[in-house]
């Protein structure tokens, strides 16, 4: 009997899959595009005055709560109110971090900062911060990779 190969999950950081672009990151249309290409997406989410927003440094793009219920989203709570309200929905995959080496997501995955040790249950975050050539993704064992370059990473890994 042959070995089964683990399926690598590719997470488009803020919806980006072909390189950084501050004009596209966290835009709802960009998230939808990345999801339509089969990628998972990390999104930065704020909850302010009973409204939901996407945005990295600020709550930039208002969204309906239902947007967050889409499959394959990795929701980064950007303020305490978002973290608190997200906690009521056990189906969502969310997390909070600041400068931690790693954090546990609500679904039990280990969101791991660049350059930190990985496990089979880890998400390798932003490998390009450590190695711009992305050679550090070849042969790495983890459950997922989150990057602005997931399209290139997928090619490099031949997945």
pTM assigned to the model: 0.95
pLDDT: which is higher, 93 or 7:
93
pLDDT at 98: 87
Residues 13-48: pLDDT tens digits? Answer: 999 999 999 999 999 999 999 999 999 999 999 999
Comparing CA positions, the residue from 100, 95, 97, 135 lying closest to residue 116 is 100
Residues 47 and 84: their CA atoms lie apart, in Å, by: 9
- pLDDT for residue 2 is more than 70: no
Q: Where are the domains of the chain?
A: 10-157
Residues 33-92: pLDDT tens digits? Answer: 999 999 999 999 999 999 999 999 999 999 999 999 999 999 999 999 999 999 999 999
Fold classification of 10-157 (topology level):
TIM Barrel (3.20.20)
* Number of Cβ within a 10 Å radius of residue 5: 7
């Amino acid at each position: 009997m042959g070995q089964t190969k683990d399926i690598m999950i590719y997470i488009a950081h803020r919806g980006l899959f072909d390189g950084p672009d501050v004009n596209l990151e966290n835009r709802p249309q960009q998230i939808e595009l990345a999801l339509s290409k089969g990628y998972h997406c990390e999104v930065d989410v704020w909850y302010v005055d009973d409204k939901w927003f996407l945005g990295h440094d600020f709550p930039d793009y208002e969204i309906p709560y239902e947007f967050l219920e889409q499959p394959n989203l990795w929701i980064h709570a950007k303020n305490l109110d978002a973290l608190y309200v997200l906690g009521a929905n056990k189906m969502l995959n969310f997390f909070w971090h600041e400068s931690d080496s790693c954090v546990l997501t609500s679904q039990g995955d280990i969101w791991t900062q660049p350059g930190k040790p990985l496990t089979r249950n880890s998400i390798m975050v932003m490998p390009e911060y450590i190695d711009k050539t992305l050679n550090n993704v070849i042969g790495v064992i983890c459950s997922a990779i989150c990057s602005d370059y997931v399209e290139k990473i997928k090619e490099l890994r031949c997945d």
